[in-house]
Structure 1
Amino acid sequence: MSDIKELNQIVRNIITANSYGAQMETGQKLFAYTVRRDIDQELRAFAENIAMLMIQKEGRELHLEFMNDDLQKTSRQLHVAKHDPLTHLPNRGLFYEKLAAFFEISQKKGDKLALILLDLDNFKPVNDTHGHDAGDALLGQVALRIKEVVKDSGIAARLGGDEFVVLLPDLQNKKEAYVIAQKILLSIKKPFKLTSAMVFIDSSIGICFLDQTTKGPRTLLKNADLAMYEAKKAGRGRYVAHINEE
């Protein structure tokens, strides 16, 4: 949502600019926004439309004032399309977009990037014993706990079912990812209060780091998945980091 708020503020600044110079200065920020790889493609395309109206004098006079309402409508539609309706986390599609963007940025800048893949243990018995509504409520609480741990240090998403993922860009070192993974594990171990019962579950986590041998963004996800199953085989309730054997 921060990307949408940023574009909304740029549009407001263009509309309220009290001079041609001020409008052009804000316009430069708008053009910079349209080429940022970390912004959703739909938002960049929307920003390009606004930029075209800026170039056309009649567009500025007749249409720009209506862009704010259009932006709000577009932002709501984008949020629904790109977020999981149950947990309100980014969905698989949006996560893949973010993964590809940060993968490219991290490769170019040499930044550290980590991917944490989490699968819930003993989730199926909750569904079988207490029903799917209880299972959905549990997933919602899990999502809140993951978000509370990750905060602004990364991007948490739901891939589907009881599988969640966290992308951690701009790491200083690998220890930061291990600390977050351990905090998530401990958070999931705490009891979940559902309408029908108090339940306990566990989780298994796989971690993968971007390095010189990583061939593409999906490779990170694949390697994290391999590490996660190693965590399950080792007894669950733990994290395992993928070790590149190449």
Structure 2
Amino acid sequence: MIEEAAGVETLVDDEFIADWGHPPHVHTYHQFLFVPLGWITVTAQGQEYRLSASVALWIPAGIVHSSRFGEDSMIVSEAFDADRYRLPYTEMTSVNVTDAQRRLLLSRTRRSVLSDDAFAFASLSAATRASLPLPQPSSPLAVTVARELGRRPDDPRTVTEWALSLHTSSTSLRRAFRAETGLAFSEWRTRLRLNHSLDLLQRGHLVGAVAAMVGFSSVNGYIMAFRRHFGQTPGAYAKRSA
């Protein structure tokens, strides 16, 4: 069935899934998307969400979205009745998936009758999550970069400069971050810096000072990145935290 939503022709069922993904559509139920193998990119409301084995996504009922699948991706989708379940948020929400949660989700695919435990853990994770999902790399060189940036998020080195210091190529380092975290190096570093900035804002530091402390070259750039990822300005976040 096809409906009009916000001026966009959208599908309201799953009959039109193609090999490459799913065109704009909307559900009457809450959807939980998990990708134990490969990746999927979901686009909604002008924002992209990259899912991998460590980052899942809640899609509340009524949000128009589309998706692109990796060629060999395994996608687990669970639906929850919007009349029965109430999510603690109204926007698309990424969820960090731990090893224990991953095992739980995979075990559910082997059951003939599903319980509500996935809803319980995933909604709780999303409700309590303050920081952005930040999957960690696994190869030695990428781990070194991630560890150093964790200690010094304001480190200004580019991926090329990191590669030179580690005697590798920038291409290899970029590929490692993309393959192991599902994120480009620049996006991974931006998320790390934004996550570090949350604590500084909560402790009362001024927005301009926080931007410099976590490595943003301009206050405007920091505010724009913060708004894009959190849906509000850092100043508004600080006020709410206070």
TM-score (norm: length of structure 1): 0.23
Structure with larger RCO (C-alpha < 8 A, sep 6+): 1
TM-score (norm: length of structure 2): 0.24
Higher strand content, 1 or 2: 2
